[in-house]
Amino acid sequence: MTGKIIKSEDLDATLIFVNFWATWCRPCLQEMPSIENARKVLEKDNIAFVAISEETEERIRQFVTRYDYNFLYTRFPGSLEELDIHSVPTTYILNSRGEILYTHVGAKFWDTEENLTLIRSFLSGTSR
């Protein structure tokens, strides 16, 4: 949101949970509480939670002040289609080198035991 480019190595995290979303996207808004719950459960596991939108900085800031989610919010200055993202929400789990380990298109309840186990599997190297 400051105009600085964020690189995976800047986050100093073992895993990076990246969620592409929009303020107008109902499924995005429905899954956000579960992402926040997952973040809280996994907060000692060195996972960065990043929420990326192509919307204006003003709209993102309005959202941030309205909801108490502790994500790193960032704005992609172009169209998400430039990143080959054609639907939101879209979530990626990356390793510390920025390599994609997992992709999910659509909303998901990230705080279920099954999905927490999935995320943890990438920490231990036992991922599918």
CATH number assigned to the domain with residue range 13-124, chosen from the 4 options 3.40.30.10, 3.90.870.10, 3.40.50.2300, 3.40.640.10:
3.40.30.10
pLDDT at 12: 79
Q: How many CB atoms lie within 10 A of CB 89?
A: 23
Task: Kindly report, residue by residue over 45-104, the tens digit of the pLDDT.
Answer: 999 999 999 999 999 999 999 999 999 999 999 999 999 999 999 999 999 888 999 999
DSSP state of 125: T
Query: What token pair was written down for 34?
Result: 């579960």
> pLDDT-derived band of residue 1, with 50, 70 and 90 as boundaries?
low
Q: What is the pTM of this model?
A: 0.90
Which residues are CB-contacts of 112 (< 8 A; sequence separation ≥ 6)?
34
Helix (H, G, I), strand (E, B) or coil at 105: strand
| Torsion sign across C-alpha atoms 35, 40, 42, 43 | positive
On the 0-12 / 13-18 / 19+ scale of CB atoms within 10 A, 6 is middle
* Contact between 91 and 104 (Cβ < 8 Å): yes
Q: Which of 4-13, 24-33, 88-97, 111-120 has the lowest mean pLDDT?
A: 4-13
Task: Give the CA-trace dihedral at 82, 22, 89, 91, to 10 degrees.
Answer: 70
What whole-number distance in Å separates Cα of residue 77 and Cα of residue 114?
A: 34
Q: In the chain, where are the structural domains located?
A: 13-124
